[in-house]
Amino acid sequence: MPSLGRLRRIVQDVSGASTLDESLRLISDQVKDVMSVDVCSIYLMDADRGDLVLMCTQGLDPGSVGNVRMPIGDGLVGTIAERQQVLKTDDALQHPSFHYFPETNEELFHAFLGVPIVHYRQVVGVLVVQQQESRQFDSEHEAFLVTVAAQLAGTLSHAINSGKVSNLLKGRKKANTHIDGIVGSSGIGIGKVVRAGGSISFKDVDEVCALDKDAELLSFKRALVAVGKELDQGHQQMADTPGDVQAIFDAYRLILESDDLQVAIRNRIYDGLIAPAALKSVIEEHAAIFEEMDDPYFQARGEDIRNIGLRILRYLVEPNAKPNEYGQPVILIGDVVSVSDIAEVPAEKLAGIVCQQGSALSHTAILAGALGVPAVMGVGKLPLRMLAGQSGIVDGYRGRVYFQPSSALMAEYIRLVRQESEFDRALDKLRHLPGETRDGYRLSLMVNTGLLADISPGLEKGAEGIGLYRTEIPFMIHDSFPSEEEQYRLYRKVLKDFYPRPVTMRTLDIGGDKPLPYFPVNEDNPYLGWRGIRFTLDHPEIFSGQLRAMLRASKGLENLKILLPMVSSVDEVDAFLLLLDKSVASLKEEGVEVNRPPIGVMIEVPSTMFLLDFLAERVDFLSIGTNDLTQYLLAVDRNNDQVARLFSRLHPSVVRALHLIVEKSRKLDLNVSLCGELAADPAAVLLLLGLGVDSLSMNAHGLPRIKHVIRSFKKSDTEQLLAEALKLGSEKEIRSLLNNALEDAGLGGLIRSGV
């Protein structure tokens, strides 16, 4: 019986393989050996032609590799792929689905066992074992082969899609190889690939003994000084950006000046290592502590440590290296891309950013978004040296990157960029016009923000206010809880810059995918745990400081609205109102006359949908957070790669839930806004118009397009679309209905389809 240990060995070996060819060879060799069979073959899907191709075999004629193809449903292998089921027989030649390929010489083999390789419901390929003598493979062999296929499906799927080898099929190169990652910042960028930080990598550093410890220590000291100057220059270059962008450079300097880090490196040098080896050892240890944590924000801090480590390494290895010259648009690519790397490139030449590691919460992604540069994070390992100098496309809408794209694909993306630019310019004329339908229904259009960097773009795009100010972002880029005074200055600037437009500030919403680095909370299920208002009510000393800062900031402006996140019960609202009243009273005792602002509740926990009548007695407005509401309704963690594809924004249950909320709110005379990603989806906006929401809040980039959609329809038409959508049973049907309506209105260009 094949052992669990052998299975683990196969998976580990394949995961460590550098190419797809090597992965396939390891699988076929080891499976053949473990199962003691005469043949092990692997067939993979050729997405371009839609058939299965023999990619590797141990036992059949090697000349058949790359030449034997089977349409889905043809032969035993095609039948397995079509049915997505195991197929076994003691005599393959007698099976009704058998298809003979002379070039394989497989007429010598009778016993056959094949299993589908499936990843996220898509057939990746088929794994087959064969034996000369007639025999029936037992259930243990079947179970082992099924387990191998299941364990390796993700690895093989990623290897194919990421183009780990240039020669996927014999004799021809796979066109338009792409990799997929995480959206860090939206947009499309086209340029030449440049390796961030030059060619320096910790992989090239060997553990070598120092011949002169004093010289190594001096070299390390000089590198620290050089990186410090580099950070200062970057800080100055970003002088025209908001303070929170410059704060990222301050965070990097804190890491650089960390006593723990510097002392540990010096100690390794004292112990006999050269400076680069000492640096590598300490950086990897410190970064690993963060990267092994479950929380995305903590993992992103590991990325910051590696960023600083690579900057120091660059000056240790190439102290006299000259800075790059950028004569054409570039795409910065690296294991990590530091804020210093970004600051080196002239703003007009930076076309995109691609990081092998990292997440949407990393400082790199935050800075990219603030600068309006498309970024894709967490793409996995890439052959950086080979890619440098190639042309590339960064699709920040889909989290996709193309290398050496075909002329046809390049032309299509250039067309898209030009079309986007022309369309955006055409929409500029709508800037001062209201979001009003053709039959006079007025909808307020707001922006979501959390960075000062987002304020100017929001105003430039004609935002009527801030529908969601995420107060947790300033908390996340600090190294401790900001004081009341710090918060006051920040909130005052936001409220003043948008005056007299309303600004809805959501109280501190940490937990789930937004942990604080200086206040760790370890939970088995953070999305259902101590987050949002649950956390702040349990820490009135923190909550009161935030509320007092908000109230003080609004004095004389009176454009503040306060929004409560993660509310699931009326008791939470009552507790908040009591704390708010205490904050108002304490300020008045200090001689600061403040008024109680309008209060709202986020509808994101399903329980609140059934408490609207009680909430109406306590609050002034509602804001639907469709991201979390959808997540909780469908029981899908949208940040979990295994199930993220099930996150369906126009799922019939979501549409019906929105209908219930808005209808009930109308009867209770409650103003309703929507601030999730649904607000920036042109198709979804047709339903939201039909529902009759009062305002939408989205990122600044999407605002003109949504305004264009609103001004192109009558509300009565969207009400009819809503009635039809409520009768449909799948997102596919609902989206098709809405996309057709956009097409009929001449807005087909707003439907983002695959290129």
Q: Are the CB atoms for 297 and 517 separated by under 8 Å?
A: yes
Both tokens assigned to 175 = 């066109």
Burial code of 561-573, b = ≥16 C-beta within 10 A, e = fewer? bbbbbbbbeeebb
3-state secondary structure string across 563-599: EECCCCCHHHHHHHHHHHHHHHHHHHHCCCCCCCCCE
Burial of 541 (0-12, 13-18, 19+ CB in 10 A): exposed
Residues contacting 594, CB < 8 A, separation 6+: 551, 552, 554, 555, 584, 587, 588
Q: Which two tokens stand for residue 250?
A: 């301050």
Which two tokens mark 197?
Answer: 């930080």
Cα separation, 466 vs 448, whole angstroms: 6
Would you please indicate which residues are annotated as catalytic (active-site) residues? 363, 675
Contact status, residue 45 vs residue 13, Cβ threshold 8 Å? no
Q: What's 397's DSSP letter?
A: T
Q: Is residue 331 helix, strand or coil? A: strand
Contact 372/352 with Cβ under 8 angstroms? no
How many angstroms separate the CA atoms of 111 and 135, rounded? Answer: 5
End-to-end alpha carbon distance in the chain: 48
Q: Which tokens belong to 245?
A: 């962008």
Q: What strands, in cross-sheet order, belong to the sheet with 69-71?
A: 69-71, 51-58, 39-46, 122-131, 111-119, 87-89
- Rounded CA separation 644/636 (Å): 7
Nearest to 53 by CA among 43, 62, 61: 43
Specify the pairing of strand 87-89 against strand 111-119.
antiparallel
Tell the burial category of 234 from Cβ atoms under 10 Å away from its Cβ (0-12, 13-18, 19+): buried
Task: Report residue 598: phi and psi, to 5°.
Answer: -60, 140
Quick check: 750 and 682 in contact, CB under 8 A?
A: yes
What letter would DSSP give residue 708?
Answer: H
- Residues whose CB is less than 8 angstroms from the CB of residue 21 and which lie 6 or more positions away in sequence, other chains included: 56, 165
CA angle 468, 470, 476 (to 5 degrees): 170
Question: How long, in residues, is the chain?
Answer: 755
Tell how many helices (H) and how many strands (E) occur in the chain. 26, 22
Question: CA-based Rg of the chain, rounded to a whole angstrom?
Answer: 29
Distance, in Å, from the CA atom of 312 to the CA atom of 325, rounded to the nearest integer, reads: 21
3-state SS assignment for residue 393: strand
Q: In this structure, what DSSP letter does residue 408 have?
A: H
The residue type found at 726 is L
Pull the structure tokens for residue 539: 């820490």
Q: Around Cβ 332, how many Cβ atoms within 10 Å? A: 28
Paired with 621 in beta bridges are 600, 671
